[in-house]
């Protein structure tokens, strides 16, 4: 149980275009999801907390207009990278809290690799 999926797994886009990444909880409802960014050989950096039915909470230094987060349902959060540039190329990972699971445990998606040309 407690499976989180992400789509797409990999995306290549041109500079200036927008890219949407989906994060779904498949067998549980998640009121809270998280979006991370991971650079090669570095740790996961939390970008924002996605709350169902309310605005996302962004970490310091993360541009909310650049990384739009929408958590419209209890099983889906989307991250849209707007006007993507090569420096946005990275590995984006989402996670979700299962309210019925062990406290504090996050379930991670497989990640989405974004390459901006």
- The binding site for another protein (CB under 8 A) comprises 32, 34, 41-44, 46, 49, 93, 95, 97, 102, 104-106, 108-111
The least distance separating another protein from the CB of residue 105, rounded to whole angstroms, comes to 5
What is the DSSP secondary structure assignment for residue 116, as one 8-state letter?
A: E
The rounded distance, in Å, linking the Cα atoms of 74 and 31 is 6
Report, in Å, the least distance between residue 79 CB and another protein: 17
Cα–Cα distance for residue pair 12/19, rounded to 1 Å:
9
Nearer to another protein, 84 or 97 (CB): 97
User: How many whole angstroms separate alpha carbon 69 and alpha carbon 55?
Assistant: 8
CA 60 distance to own-chain centroid: 16
What tokens were used for 59? 């970490």
Q: For another protein, give the closer residue by CB, 81 or 94.
A: 94
Q: Which is nearer to another protein, 14 or 41 (CB)?
A: 41
């Amino acid at each position: 149980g407690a499976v989180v999926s992400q789509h797409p797994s990999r995306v290549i886009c041109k500079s200036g275009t927008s890219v949407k990444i989906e994060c779904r909880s498949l067998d549980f409802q998640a009121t809270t999801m998280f979006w991370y960014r991971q650079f090669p050989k570095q740790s996961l950096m939390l970008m924002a907390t996605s709350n169902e039915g309310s605005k996302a909470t962004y970490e310091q230094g993360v541009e909310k207009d650049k990384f739009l987060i929408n958590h419209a349902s209890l099983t889906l959060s989307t991250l849209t990278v707007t006007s993507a540039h090569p420096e946005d190329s990275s590995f984006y990972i989402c996670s979700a809290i299962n309210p019925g699971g062990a406290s504090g445990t996050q379930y991670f998606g497989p990640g989405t690799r974004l390459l901006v040309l």
